[in-house]
Amino acid sequence: MIAITGWLLAVHQPLAAQEEIIANKLFYTELGGPSVIMSANFDARFKTGERLGFGYRLGIGFGYNDGRSYYSINDEYSSRTYYSFPLGLNYVFGKPNSAHTFDVGAGITILTRKVALFYYERTEPGHVIMPLTFMYRLMPVNGGFSFRVGLTPIIGTGGDLFPMGAVGFGYAF
C-alpha cells in the first residue's frame, strides 16, 4: 500500500507541475508593423515565469520599395524587395491571470537596402527605421493560440512619423 501511495504521489507531481506552466514566450507572424509588410517574430519576457513586464522581440521579415521616391532615378532605389530585422523592447500590462494584455514598445528595424518607405518629397532612403508599438494582445495564461492587433507608427529615415498598423497571429508557450 505504501508503494502504491508513493507511486501515485510521484506520478501526480509532474502533472501538477504541468498545470502551473505560465506562457511567457510567443512566436507569431505579423502583417504590417515594424517590418512594413510581413514578419515572423519571437517575443519573450526577461523574467522567467512572468507573463507581464519588460521583454524583447526579435524578427525577420520583408518589405517592398515601390520606387516612387525622387531617388528612383538611380537604379539603386528602384522597385525591389528588401529584408528586415525588427528588434525591440516592450512592456506588457495586464492582470496576471487574464489572457487580455496590452503591450507598448519601441525598437529599430534594420533593412538590407536603402529604402524610402513612403512617398514624400523629403523622405530620405536609409537602412534603419524606428517603430513604436501599441498592441492589444490575446495570450492565454497557459499557452495556445495568440492574437495581436494595434498601432505601429514608424519614425522614418528622414525623421518623419508615419501612421501604421499591424495584426499578428501566433502561438504562446
List, for residues 149-163, the tens digit of each pLDDT value: 999 999 887 778 889
Q: Is 106 contained in some domain?
A: yes
Q: Is 16 contained in some domain?
A: no
Q: What is the pLDDT of residue 160?
A: 80
Q: What is the pLDDT of residue 55?
A: 97
Q: Is 117 contained in some domain?
A: yes
Find the domain containing 35 and state its range.
23-172
Q: Is 42 contained in some domain?
A: yes
**Number of folded domains that form the chain:** 1
pLDDT at 53 over 80: yes
Q: What are the start-end ranges of the E strands in 33-143?
A: 38-45, 53-65, 80-94, 100-115, 126-138
Q: What is the pLDDT of residues 67-98, one digit of tens each?
A: 554 444 454 545 578 899 999 999 999 998 99
Q: What is the pLDDT of residue 104?
A: 98
Burial of 116 (0-12, 13-18, 19+ CB in 10 A): buried
Give the CATH number for residue 156: 2.40.160.20
Q: Which SS3 state, helix, strand or coil, does residue 51 take? A: coil
